[in-house]
Structure 1
């Protein structure tokens, strides 16, 4: 279990996060949802260890990681732009993080990850030769082979559309289920959060507006901001809402 206790952060005396308290169970997919500037990416970076919090605690499996460096936390992230090395082919990108971690994965495990993400036909391709969906799968494979304790995803679908986006959605859900991997996703898109997540944390102006399941968010919005943000401001696709929650909310 990941526990965040009273997490707060300021930049240039401006409050970005204030008293964030959260518990995430093993294997859950949790989306951090909110408008631009709400603090969701800062919270993701604090969990990763990339950004230092001003106060609070990060507890993972009863161990206090609050002051543990990023490289020692055992978490890993797929950035919005994938951060792949263009001069390396897909396979070289996938195994790059293993260069100083001999024995972390067996050859069979490596092949299983490649097989799971259907990357065999693309291993020899340079990054510039890959589609957006293929780049995303390479980035996921590169992260998974390091066996992260928590998988962090920063706007994983923002550069994708149509069938490719739906395919990556399903793969992310399959990864969490297959590997029992706690997954935290930053998104500004309510549709993505509702269709991908076990739970959703809605952040507004650095504070928690609501934390709950998709059904709870839709059926019992905690305040007007949640209702407006989910159902009106970002204009969620009616058919997806209908499929998830029925005609009343479509």
Structure 2
């Protein structure tokens, strides 16, 4: 569905992305994982269309969209800070984009999505009356009512923890599968990426260190960077990863 061919990005003479090539399948959840400065956000911005690659191609649905403007790509993003309108209640935030494109989602579809995200009891609340998890779900709903071709999430769980974090993870997975929605997530958290995604793209210094399923990354890390980043740098305990994948760590 989405193909990147030898994507390179240079800022002020510095090569940020160095020959990124990969395929993302229709309906797949892919996390982009890596340390600060690895090129995660730059790659997300290139896919979204905020900036253009210095070299390479972006192919979507067999069409070259490398130079297609962001607003014509039909991709939508949920930003890390949610970017909600504080003067509007939750429902008006969710339906804000429909004012200009009212035929994208019917009222029944909007209500179904609100129910799926567990927001029915919070629609009249102002944004400052919502918890972090509720704000995240409102931001998701606002994006999803516009029926994006690809959903992009920038650190969607970074401000959440505990039960709320797990709940949002489950909802993201449910929505992606129910709507067959290709979803690309930027995260710095290995555990988040490994438990949420069908495949994980691990970047280091602008290059792909590994692009594999979570199981393959845990059982067959391709290099020392992947092994160290997953198990040591972010202090993810081996026994936790071990239990997540049914005791298959070797």
Partner of 1:71: 71
Partner SS, residue 95 of structure 2: helix
Instruction: Give, in angstroms, the shift of residue 239 of structure 1.
Output: 5.1
Deviations, residues 10-44 of structure 1 (Å, cap 9, x unaligned):
11111100110010000110000000010011000
Partner of 2:100: 100
Output the CA distance in 1 between the equivalents of 2:134 and 2:239: 27
Aligned: 1:235 with 2:235 = yes
Partner of 1:5: 5
Q: Residues 39-50 of structure 1: matches in 2 within 5 Å? A: 39-50=39-50
Instruction: Give, in angstroms, the shift of residue 109 of structure 1.
Output: 0.5
- In the alignment, structure 1 segments of 5+ residues that lack a partner are none
Partner SS, residue 102 of structure 1: coil
Higher mean alpha-carbon deviation, 231-240 vs 124-133, is at 231-240
Partner of 1:58: 58
Partner of 2:207: 207
Q: Residues 173-188 of structure 1: matches in 2 within 5 Å? A: 173-188=173-188
Deviation above 3 Å: which 4+ runs of structure 1?
237-240, 246-250
Higher mean alpha-carbon deviation, 57-66 vs 237-246, is at 237-246
Aligned: 1:143 with 2:134 = no
Instruction: Give, in angstroms, the shift of residue 245 of structure 1.
Output: 2.8
Instruction: Give, in angstroms, the shift of residue 139 of structure 1.
Output: 0.2
Instruction: Give, in angstroms, the shift of residue 242 of structure 1.
Output: 2.4
Output the CA distance in 2 between the equivalents of 1:232 and 1:123: 42
Partner of 1:189: 189
Aligned: 1:114 with 2:114 = yes
Distance change in 2, residues 1:114/1:237 (3 Å): farther
Partner of 1:156: 156
Instruction: Give, in angstroms, the shift of residue 104 of structure 1.
Output: 1.0
Retained in 2: the 8 A contact 1:7–1:57?
A: yes
Retained in 1: the 8 A contact 2:33–2:190?
A: yes
Retained in 2: the 8 A contact 1:191–1:237?
A: no
- In the alignment, structure 2 segments of 5+ residues that lack a partner are none
Normalization by structure 1: what TM-score? Answer: 0.97
Instruction: Give, in angstroms, the shift of residue 185 of structure 1.
Output: 0.3
Deviations, residues 44-72 of structure 1 (Å, cap 9, x unaligned):
01000012211111111101111110001
Output the CA distance in 2 between the equivalents of 1:81 and 1:234: 23
Output the CA distance in 1 between the equivalents of 2:10 and 2:120: 45
Aligned length: 250
Deviations, residues 101-149 of structure 1 (Å, cap 9, x unaligned):
0211111111111111011111110000000000000000000000000
Output the CA distance in 1 between the equivalents of 2:202 and 2:217: 9
Retained in 1: the 8 A contact 2:114–2:141?
A: yes
Output the CA distance in 2 between the equivalents of 1:88 and 1:55: 41
Partner SS, residue 147 of structure 1: coil
Normalization by structure 2: what TM-score? Answer: 0.97
Output the CA distance in 2 between the equivalents of 1:138 and 1:239: 35
